[in-house]
């Protein structure tokens, strides 16, 4: 085995050759494009004609409004933050509740029901976005959708609502789809952390008379905190990058109320043919995601340092 007294390995060792495909791949397909994005963000380019260097103007334009239009960076930033924030809070609360209940109830009932529960968590997440968007698009459909039919049958609604074309419902629909798709995954992560809790601590607490809610609040939740922080961070990172549901359900509308960051980037680049503007948005998005990813890596390490979760 190599140790620190052994001679330095040759640069072109077997290990290096085995790393090379990955290193080259990431250099060409991740670092290279990221660098080009950064450079394009200082340029004006319609993807066809000549590239023109414009300095910081793209960033300046992103932060200036035109007429009654608010600055795009602020508008898109606000919509993205609203979408990601609501999704993260709701998904975290829901998944914590479900994981705690499932942990308490399903243990006693043997593994079959537990397995079924896990499958239910898994299926929405495994569903391709287009499939999910088509189903929910149909459920939300104003004329023939199940949602309107159900609400009208219950007498809660007099006339059909075009959910996907009316604000603020459109953003709500996109949020609902995201929650449907992603909550199960968080439940599974939290359930895994719960199952890894030290059984002797729980047993000792029960002997001391802690039970039910008290046990949950005083013992389980603090032990679960690292995983909970981790779940919140990855949900935030994931939802800040949302695209599929918006593209498929609302195309950013109505009145740009579902225009999240990646949709705006896509639209600026491939429909607006404004590569500079799209790249400047990309750089801003990168700054946010990079900071959050660094946080996630720290949390991930903290999670591994503790014995459980």
Partner 1 sequence: MVRRVFINGLLQGLFQGLAWALLAGFFGLALVPLVLMILASLLPEITGPGSLSALFAPQHWQLGAYAQIFRQLPVATYALNSVLVSVVTTAGYTLFAAMAGYALARLPVRYKSLWFWLILLTLMIPPQVNIVPLFLLMAKAGLINSIWALIIPGLFGAFGVFLMRQWFSDFPVSLQESAALDGCSASQTFWKIALPTARPVLVSLALWIFMATWNAFLWPLVATHADAARTLPVGLAALKASFRDGMDWPVLLAAATITVLPVLMLAIIGQKAWLSATLAGGVKE
Contacts (CB under 8 A) with partner 1, residues 119-138: 119-124, 126-132, 134-138
Nearer to partner 1, 30 or 218 (CB): 30
Q: What minimum distance in Å lies between the beta carbon of 35 and partner 1?
A: 8
From candidates 86, 139, 202, 205, binder to partner 1 by CB under 8 A: 139
Q: Which of residues 154-213 bind partner 1 (CB under 8 A)?
A: 180, 182, 184-185, 188-189, 192, 212
Is residue 48 a contact residue for partner 1 (CB under 8 A)? no
Nearer to partner 1, 28 or 56 (CB): 28
Is residue 149 a contact residue for partner 1 (CB under 8 A)? yes
- Cis omega (within 30 of 0) for bond into 175: no
Nearer to partner 1, 223 or 299 (CB): 299
Nearer to partner 1, 65 or 163 (CB): 163
From candidates 78, 101, 203, 221, binder to partner 1 by CB under 8 A: 101
Is residue 11 a contact residue for partner 1 (CB under 8 A)? yes
Map tokens 């990813």 to a residue: 293
Is residue 31 a contact residue for partner 1 (CB under 8 A)? yes
Nearer to partner 1, 7 or 68 (CB): 7
Nearer to partner 1, 166 or 216 (CB): 216
26 CB neighbour count, 10 Å cutoff: 11
From candidates 86, 202, 205, 283, binder to partner 1 by CB under 8 A: 283
Is residue 50 a contact residue for partner 1 (CB under 8 A)? no
Nearer to partner 1, 20 or 204 (CB): 20
Q: Determine the interface stretch with partner 1 among 29-37, 53-61, 83-91, 197-205 (rule: CB under 8 A).
A: 29-37
The encoded tokens of residue 71 equal 């600055």
Q: Which of residues 220-239 bind partner 1 (CB under 8 A)?
A: 230, 234, 238
Is residue 89 a contact residue for partner 1 (CB under 8 A)? no
What are residue 220's DSSP bridge partners? Answer: none
The 3-state secondary structure of the chain reads: CCCCCCCCCCCCCHHHHHHHHHHHHHHHHHHHHHHHHHHHCCEECCCCCCCEECCCHHHHHHCCCECCECCHHHHHHHHHHHHHHHHHHHHHHHHHHHHHHHHHHHHCCHHHHHHHHHHHHHHHHHCCHHHHHHHHHHHHCCCCCHHHHHHHHCCCCCCCCCHHHCCCHHHHHHHHHHHHHHHHHHHHHHHHHHHCCCHHHHHHHHHCCCCHHHHHHHHHHHHHHHHHHHHHHHHHHHHHCCCHHHHHHCCCCCCCCCCCHHHHHHHHHHHCCCHHHHHHHHHHHHHHHHHHHHHHHHHHHHHHHCCCC
SS3 state at 89:
helix
- Cis omega (within 30 of 0) for bond into 179: no
What binding mask, one character per residue, do residues 60-79 give for partner 1 by CB under 8 A, x or -?
--------------------
Is residue 40 a contact residue for partner 1 (CB under 8 A)? yes
Q: Determine the interface stretch with partner 1 among 64-72, 84-92, 147-155, 198-206 (rule: CB under 8 A).
A: 147-155
From candidates 210, 266, 272, 308, binder to partner 1 by CB under 8 A: 266
Q: Determine the interface stretch with partner 1 among 82-90, 104-112, 162-170, 199-207 (rule: CB under 8 A).
A: 104-112
């Amino acid at each position: 085995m190599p140790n620190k007294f052994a001679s330095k390995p040759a640069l072109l060792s077997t290990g290096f050759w085995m790393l090379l495909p990955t290193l080259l791949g990431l250099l060409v397909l991740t670092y290279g494009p990221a660098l080009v994005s950064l450079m394009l963000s200082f340029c004006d380019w319609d993807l066809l004609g000549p590239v023109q260097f414009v300095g910081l103007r793209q960033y300046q334009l992103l932060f200036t409004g035109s007429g009654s239009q608010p600055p795009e960076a602020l508008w898109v930033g606000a919509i993205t933050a609203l979408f990601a924030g609501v999704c993260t809070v709701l998904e975290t609360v829901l998944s914590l509740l479900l994981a705690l209940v499932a942990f308490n109830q399903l243990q006693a009932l043997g593994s079959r029901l537990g397995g079924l529960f896990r499958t239910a968590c898994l299926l929405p997440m495994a569903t391709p976005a287009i499939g999910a968007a088509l189903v929910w698009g149909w459920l939300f459909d104003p004329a023939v959708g199940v949602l309107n039919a159900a609400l009208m049958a219950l007498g809660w609604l007099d006339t059909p609502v075009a959910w996907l074309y009316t604000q603020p419902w459109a953003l709500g629909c996109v949020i609902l789809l995201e929650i449907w798709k992603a909550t199960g995954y968080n439940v599974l992560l939290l359930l895994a952390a719960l199952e890894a809790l030290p059984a002797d601590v729980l047993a000792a607490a029960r002997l001391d008379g802690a039970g039910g809610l008290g046990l949950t609040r005083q013992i389980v939740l603090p032990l679960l905190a690292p995983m909970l922080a981790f779940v919140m961070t990855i949900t935030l990172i994931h939802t800040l990058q949302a695209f599929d549901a918006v593209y498929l359900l609302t195309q950013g509308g109505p009145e740009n109320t579902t225009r999240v960051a990646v949709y705006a980037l896509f639209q600026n680049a491939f429909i607006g043919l404004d590569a500079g503007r799209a790249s400047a948005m990309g750089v801003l998005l990168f700054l946010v995601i990079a900071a959050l990813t660094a946080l996630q890596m720290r949390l991930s390490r903290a999670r591994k340092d503790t014995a459980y979760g």
